[in-house]
Amino acid sequence: MSFRRIRILVLFGLLAMVALVHFGEQFLVRSWRAPLQVAIVPINGDDSEAVADYIRQLNEEKFAEINTFLEKQAGRYGLKLNNALDMKLAPEAHEIPPAPPYGGNGLQVAWWSLKLRIWAWRQEKTGFLPHPAKVRIFLIYHDVATDKALDHSLGLQKGLVGVVHVFASEAQRQQNNVVIAHELLHTLGATDKYDPATSLPIHPIGYAEPDKQPLHPQYEAEIMAGRTAKTAEYAEMPKSLDKCVIGPDTAHEINFSGAFTSQFLR
C-alpha cells in the first residue's frame, strides 16, 4: 500500500473517531438520565479591578435559576428532572478564547471552531475545571460602567463549548442567566428561533404563545428566540428566565420529548 493511501486511511480514521466522539457526547448530554455536568469558567474580559471584584464574589447559587428553569420547562413536556444540571464554578481563567471570524467563509469558521475546542481543552488540561465537565461555559465578564455593546455570545454543539459575554453587575445577573441558558442549549443542539437580519422572533417557532389572539403583545420569550415580541416590529429581551419558555421545537432538539418516552418506558 502506498504512503498516500495510508495517509488517506489515517485521515478517514481520525474523522470517523471525531464523529463517533461527537455522537457519543450528544447521546450522553441529551439523554437526561443524570444531571448534565456543566462547568462555569469566569474570565475578566476588561482586565479591570471592578470586574475582578465581581468575579471574586461569584458562587454556584448565582446560576441556580438556570437549573430551575430547565426542570420547570422539562415538566411541561412530561419529563421529571431532579437536578437537571450539575453546575460547578471553576476558578477564573486568564486567557481570552480565540475570536470568531465574523463574515468569514466556511473554511475559516471551521478552523476557528477547531481552535476554540483546542483552547477549551487546554483550559481543562491546566486544571481550570474542577471535574470532567460535559459542557464548558466560559463567561467573559465586562464592566457595566463602560456602557459598551457586548460581543456576540455563542454555543458550539461540537465540543460542547459556550463563550458568553456578560456584564459584571448583580443588577444584570438574571438577564445574564437568560443569555447563558440560551448558549447552553445551543451546545445541546438547539437552534436560534429569530431572524438574524432583524433579531425578531420567528413566528410560530420563536413565540411563547404562537396561537395567542391577538398575537401581540407576547408576555414571555421562547428561550432560543431570545426576545419577547411586543409587536410585529419590536421585541425586547426578557429580564429573567421566569419570563422565558422552551417551545416545542427547541424541546424536540434537546430531546425533552424523547427523554420523556424513555423515562416512561423504564
- The total number of residues shown for the chain amounts to 266
- Residues 175 and 199 sit within 8 Å (Cβ to Cβ): no
pLDDT band at 73; cut points 50, 70, 90: very high
pLDDT band at 163 (very low <50, low <70, confident <90, very high): very high
All three cell numbers of 58, joined, read 461569584
Lowest mean pLDDT among 17-21, 130-134, 210-214: 17-21
Where do the structural domains in the chain lie, given as residue ranges? 34-189, 190-266
The whole-angstrom separation of Cα 160 and Cα 166 is 19
Q: Are 225 and 207 in contact (CB under 8 A)?
A: yes
Q: Which residue has the higher pLDDT, 189 or 263?
A: 189
Q: What angle do CA 240, 242, 243 make, to 5 degrees?
A: 75
pLDDT computed for residue 125 by the predictor: 60
- Record the cell numbers describing residue 204, joined without a space: 410560530
Q: How far apart are CA 165 and CA 10, in angstroms?
A: 38
CA distance 205 to 190: 12
Which DSSP helix (H) or strand (E) runs through 179?
A: helix 173-187
Tell me the mean pLDDT in the region 132-149.
Answer: 86
Residue 146's pLDDT is 83
Q: Which three cell numbers, joined as nine digits, stand for 19?
A: 464523529
More confident residue, 213 or 134: 213
pLDDT digits (tens, 9 = 90+) for 245-256: 999 999 999 999
Compute the chain's Rg from CA coordinates. 20
Residue 146 vs residues 50, 142, 143, 149: alpha-carbon distances, Å:
11, 8, 6, 9
CB of 97 closer than 8 Å to CB of 138: yes
Compute the distance between CA of residue 59 and CA of residue 159 in angstroms, rounded to an integer: 25
Q: Which helix (H) or strand (E) holds 117?
A: helix 106-125
- The residue type found at 34 is A
CA distance 32 to 258: 10
CB 223 within 8 Å of CB 246: yes
What local confidence, expressed as pLDDT, does residue 106 receive? 77
Is residue 129 over pLDDT 50?
yes
| Distances in whole angstroms, Cα of residue 126 to Cα of each of 57, 119, 122, 225 | 23, 11, 6, 35
Closest CA to 162 of 132, 136, 130, 181: 136
